[in-house]
Every structure is written in structure tokens, then in C-alpha cells.
Amino acid sequence: MASGFFAILDDIAALLDDVAMMSKVAAKKTAGILGDDLAVNAEKASGFASSREIPVLWAITKGSLLNKLIILPIAFLLSAFLPWAVTVILVLGGLYLAYEGAEKIYEFFFPHAHASESFVEEGLTESEILAIEKERVKSAIVTDFILSLEIVIIALGTVLGEPIGTQIMVVSIIALLATVGVYGIVMLIVRMDEAGYKLIKKSKKEKSFLKSLGTILVQALPIVIKSLSVIGTIALLLVAGGIFVHNVDFFHHFLPQLPSFILEFIVGLLVGFVCLIVVVGFKKIWKGISKKH
């Protein structure tokens, strides 16, 4: 009886060890998306009044958790009954990621005029500010849904050949870590300037360590957000390229002499700009048709 009990414990330990190992692999595969998720949400959560940053982030975090609760059961059902659909969704997600990365590069060289990202403007009533805030939160949750879908599918793709129980544990761990980790770091980033202002205010001397540190934190916030955007763009193209190289036979044998990360970046970039050209061309054609009618 005791030996049977210890055998069960041994099986559980082996299963948890496998789950931990596969979760580590899945985390590496999804790291690029998490980087982009971090950059996108840091941008979307900034620009609010200081007192509203935490409530806004909490609202987005709850929306993100709800997104995962919707996506995970659908992903597991597909894995159980239509496993080929996971690969199809993975490749389609790769096209989206490559397009998004290429679009960011295009906008860097050919910037479009955007409306001001700050929502702390004079002349707006409290109800108007809250209405704008609500729309911004809604937009962030929609974006999170797309990124969450990609994270879940990529994580699922790494454990597709494993038993369904292992798939559920590994992918659920990655989904939870993605939400808690990303939004926890986003909260720290968007509060950097507030922490800096408090340190500056606390300092009683003109030149002191606290004041210097506070100034650095205030000045660093926009630099950190821009840096995350650049890192996120590179990560998008690498992840997209990796999806094509590992799931499309043509790209798997494309330029075999190159190191894998360079090959993945080049493939992601090429596919991304092809998608960008197609989308821009379609928009122009649609615009021309709309004008005629």
C-alpha cells in the first residue's frame, strides 16, 4: 500500500518536472510576444492622470484575465479535436505579427500624424475624461485579446504532441504568468515618473542623491517606453520568422547557411513587408471604390 502511494507521488513529481521543463520552453517561445505585449500596454497605460493609472491598469488586467478564460478552453478543444487548426492559427498569427512589425518600421521612416496620447488636458470635464479613459481601456483589452491569442497558440504549439492534461497545465501557467508578469512590470514602468517626482519633492537639498535619482526616473520613462517599442518590434519579427521557419517547409530550407536568429528575422521582415504591401494596396483599392459610390 505504501509503495503504491510513493509510486503515485513519484509519478506526480515526474509530471510536475515535465510541466516545469515544457513551461520553460514555452516561455522562451512566447518571450517575443510578451516583449511586444509589455511595450504596447506600457504605451496604452501612460498619459493618464497619476490618480487614475492604477485603476486603469487594474481594469485592463481584469479584461486580460477574462480574455484568457475565453481563449484557453477554445484552444484546448482545438488541440483535442482539430490539432491541425492550431498550426493554421499559428501561421495566421505569424502573418499578423510580421505585418505589425513591418508596419512599425514603415511608420518610423514615414510617420503619420497621430492625435496626442495625453488625456490630461485642460477644459475637459470629469465625465469627458472618464469617457475617453473607458474607450482607451476598451482598446487596450481588444489589443490584449489578439496578443493573448498569439501567446496561447504559440505556447500550445510547443506542447502539441503531449497529453491534453500536460497541455492544459503548461499553457495555463504561461497564460497566467503573461498576465501577472506583463501588467506587474507595466505598473512599475508607468509609475516611474510618479516615484521620481516624490523623490524630488522629498529631497530638501538642491543637489542630493534622492533628487538626482528622482530626475533620472522622470526622464527615463519616455526613453524606457520607446526602447520597449523598438525591442518589441524586433521581437515581433523574430517570433513571426520563427513560426514560418518551423512550420512552412519553404522557409525551413531558405538560406540554410545563416544562423537561425538572423534567418528568422529576415523571413519575418520579408513576409511582414509583403503583408504590408498587400494591406496598403487593398486599402487604396477599397478607398477608390468607396469614392466612386
The number of domains in the chain is 1
User: Cα separations (Å) of 36 from 71, 75, 84, 275?
Assistant: 19, 21, 26, 19
User: Cα separations (Å) of 15 from 5, 153, 159?
Assistant: 15, 22, 14
**Cβ atoms 27, 174 nearer than 8 A:** yes
**Cβ atoms 245, 264 nearer than 8 A:** yes
* Residue 63 burial by Cβ neighbours in a 10 Å radius (0-12, 13-18, 19+): middle
User: Cα separations (Å) of 193 from 50, 94, 188, 214?
Assistant: 9, 35, 10, 8
Angle in degrees, CA 146, 152, 154, rounded to 5: 100
pLDDT for the residue 20: 61
Question: What is the number of alpha carbons within 13 Å of residue 212 lying toward its C-beta?
Answer: 3
* Grid coordinates belonging to 192: 516611474
User: Amino acid letter at 62?
Assistant: K
pLDDT for the residue 208: 78
pLDDT for the residue 7: 46
Query: Which pTM does this prediction carry?
Result: 0.70
C-alpha dihedral sign at 17, 20, 24, 26: positive
**Cβ atoms 72, 172 nearer than 8 A:** yes
* Grid coordinates belonging to 167: 497541455
Q: Which domain holds residue 91?
A: 2-292
| Residue located via cell numbers 505569424 | 94
75's CB contacts (< 8 A; 6+ apart) are 86, 152, 153, 156, 171
pLDDT for the residue 271: 94
pLDDT for the residue 116: 44
Taking 50 as the pLDDT cut, the residues of the chain under it are 1-2, 5-15, 114-117
pLDDT for the residue 127: 77
Q: Residue 121 in 3-state DSSP? A: coil
* Grid coordinates belonging to 59: 481594469
Segments in 2-82 forming alpha helices (H): 2-44, 50-81
DSSP assignment of 217-246 equals HHHHHHHHHHHHHHHHHHHHHHHHHHHHHH
